[in-house]
Structure 1
Amino acid sequence: MSAGHDHHPAAGGDQRLLGGALALILAFMAGEVVVGLAAGSLALLSDAAHMLTDAASLILALIAMRLAVRPPRGGYTYGLRRAEILSAQANGMALLVLAVALAVEAIRHLVSPPPVAGTPVLVTALVGIVVNLAATLLISRANRDNLNIRGAFAHILTDLYAFVATAAAGLVIILAGYRRADGVATLVVAALMVRAGVGLLRASGRILLEAAPAGIDPAQVGTRLARVPGVAEVHDLHVWQIGSDSPALSAHVLVAPGGDCHDTRRALERLLHDAYGIEHTTLQVDHKGDGLLQIGQDRPPH
């Protein structure tokens, strides 16, 4: 039996990068709400709502990163590594709920458009583009193998596209006086939020259901393991993820009679590490034909 365990570097650098992005987003979001209310722009308010979900995702990511580095204790043999997955689920569901609410309000504004001041909308959206570019640059330097960091990056990038749509709406209102452009921009933001939310739910759901990591085909892995010299058979193969950046594998391997079980195990672990990035492995290695320990029910006394 062998077990290789992955060791994660300190996440202090990533936490500082996320903290910087969070500060930028919160400061701008507060100003955007004020301008959106004053200008009567639903697009600006929807952008602010989206930024609120961005801030929530960053906060959840920071909390989850702190929980994930705690050592295993009690019944949590993997520690709290999946805290990030639970927060990603919550973040994805919040995005979908907010997108539906914004879409309903946008449709109302399309049917009966209220007066909208185009200049404040345009100026605020342009500033929002700059702020989101800065936040995106910060998060792009963090470890995006982490599902929460990847989700936060996608959210802020989505916000960047949303601000471009809002700026276009403000420009249309100024040049053509078409007030429904504000509602159209809001629908664009809602659609982007749905896309991001569905993506987060799908990715985190795969981990919770212990599906094989994306890009790893268990059948292919089993075939490659079986081709390692000395291996006679591979079965009971399972590939899953403990967290978004920690794939794991377990298998029962039978070695040809006369083969070295320890050398074979080390060769298998090297293959899994080099070809698939799997460091957490549990391999039960036996010689083919050896009697295996069987646990059965005791016969009742006669």
Structure 2
Amino acid sequence: MGREHGHSHGLPAGASATGRHRRKLIWVVGITLAVVVIQVAGAFLSGSLALLADAGHMLSDAAGVSIALLAAWIGTRPASARRTYGYQRAEMLAALANAVLLVVISVVIFLEALRRFDAIPEIQTGTMLLTAVLGAAANLVCLLVLHGGHTESLNVRGAYLEVLGDLLGSLAVIAAAVVIALTGFRQADAIASILIALMILPRAWSLLRDVVNVLLEASPKDVDVDSVREHILAAEGVVDVHDIHIWTITSGVPVFSAHVVVRDEVLSADGLDLVLDRLSDCLGDHFDTEHCTFQLEPASHAVHEVRHHD
């Protein structure tokens, strides 16, 4: 017999991790876009490619966070008979688009830096330095805004990593401005641009890998399936468990299902409720998985189940 039991069977609006941190993401987009305008103006006034590269990187970050916000809003739409989990997977598609965008930006920056390496124009280091310092300060503010949320949501994590990369990029621009001002070595600007491009790629790869794992419905990396099996088998009345599936709908929304074999005598109405409560409490307490589906089977039905699943 199939029974679904858990603390929360629906996926209410705002249930996803990204939805819970939407206000933080809005603040980050606003701050980032303001800094992009300042950096673009500073890049043209100073002639610095590194500053323009950092502005392009921050613009891609703002675009990525905006996509995440749009996806979080779409994800609050209710489930339907056709889409039983609603639209929360839209957040994963947004994170995927974000990762791809980061790769494109890094390649463009890298190629432009190589093209200009032997033809660096005169650079106004004062303007370059001031603009880079303003960018670094804004990035620090954004990191503080996103702190905490980056451990719960892939989209918030992506935004956090992007802002962290922006901060490192701003520090690279500051270093290049200082080197040019002190030594006249203008190639430092192109070198800083290449460093910014190289800093983007590992973050893009990390985000892309995690998104693909979710889309392929891999078990959450912080969940040990064998440990889950042991906890279920330890519940009173449980004889065996099979067909365990643990996956993630979107960040912060893990889902669990399993076929649980129980002793025949516990299959009364009271016995069923007791076993289901024990299983659900176990998963909720130990594995932070509240959306659970259990199919309870009498032990006398085990022979049929083995034949059916082999």
TM-score (norm 2): 0.89
Cα distance in 2 for partners of 1:72, 1:90 equals 23
Check whether the contact 1:253–1:284 (CA below 8 A) recurs between aligned residues.
yes
> Alpha-carbon deviations, 1:222-266, whole Å to 9, x = none?
232122222111001101001111010100000123233321221
State the one-letter code of the partner of 1:81: Q
Q: Secondary structure at the match of 1:175?
A: helix
**Is 1:290 matched up with 2:297?**
no
Matches within 5 A, 1:37-116: 37-116=44-123
Counterpart in the other structure of 1:271: 282
Counterpart in the other structure of 1:220: 227
> Alpha-carbon deviations, 1:60-97, whole Å to 9, x = none?
12111111111112411100001110010001001001
**Is 1:210 matched up with 2:212?**
no
Compared with structure 1, are the counterparts of its residues 141 and 56 closer, same or farther at alpha carbon in structure 2 (3 Å cutoff)? same
Structure 1: runs of 5 or more not aligned: 295-302
> Alpha-carbon deviations, 1:99-125, whole Å to 9, x = none?
111111122233443332222111111
State the one-letter code of the partner of 1:61: A
Which shows bigger deviation, 218-227 or 25-34?
218-227
Cα distance in 1 for partners of 2:216, 2:27 equals 33
> Alpha-carbon deviations, 1:26-76, whole Å to 9, x = none?
111012111102211111111011111111122112111111111112411
Cα distance in 1 for partners of 2:166, 2:47 equals 20
Q: Secondary structure at the match of 1:186?
A: helix
Q: Secondary structure at the match of 1:216?
A: coil
Check whether the contact 1:261–1:286 (CA below 8 A) recurs between aligned residues.
no
State the Cα distance separating 1:9 from its structure 2 match: 6.8
State the one-letter code of the partner of 1:181: A
Compared with structure 1, are the counterparts of its residues 107 and 291 closer, same or farther at alpha carbon in structure 2 (3 Å cutoff)? closer
Counterpart in the other structure of 2:5: 3
State the one-letter code of the partner of 1:2: E
Query: How many residues are treated as equivalent by the alignment?
Result: 294
Higher helix share: 2
Counterpart in the other structure of 1:182: 189
**Is 1:156 matched up with 2:156?**
no
Matches within 5 A, 1:125-136: 125-136=132-143
Which shows bigger deviation, 166-175 or 216-225?
216-225
Q: Secondary structure at the match of 1:283?
A: strand
**Is 1:197 matched up with 2:197?**
no
Compared with structure 1, are the counterparts of its residues 291 and 141 closer, same or farther at alpha carbon in structure 2 (3 Å cutoff)? closer
Of 22, 27, 48, the match for 1:15: 22
The share of aligned pairs that are identical, in percent, is: 35
Check whether the contact 1:6–1:279 (CA below 8 A) recurs between aligned residues.
no
TM-score (norm 1): 0.91
Of 213, 233, 244, the match for 1:237: 244
Cα distance in 1 for partners of 2:302, 2:171 equals 68
Which shows bigger deviation, 257-266 or 276-285?
257-266
**Is 1:167 matched up with 2:183?**
no
> Alpha-carbon deviations, 1:167-213, whole Å to 9, x = none?
11111110111111111111121112111211111111111000001
Of 104, 124, 132, the match for 2:131: 124
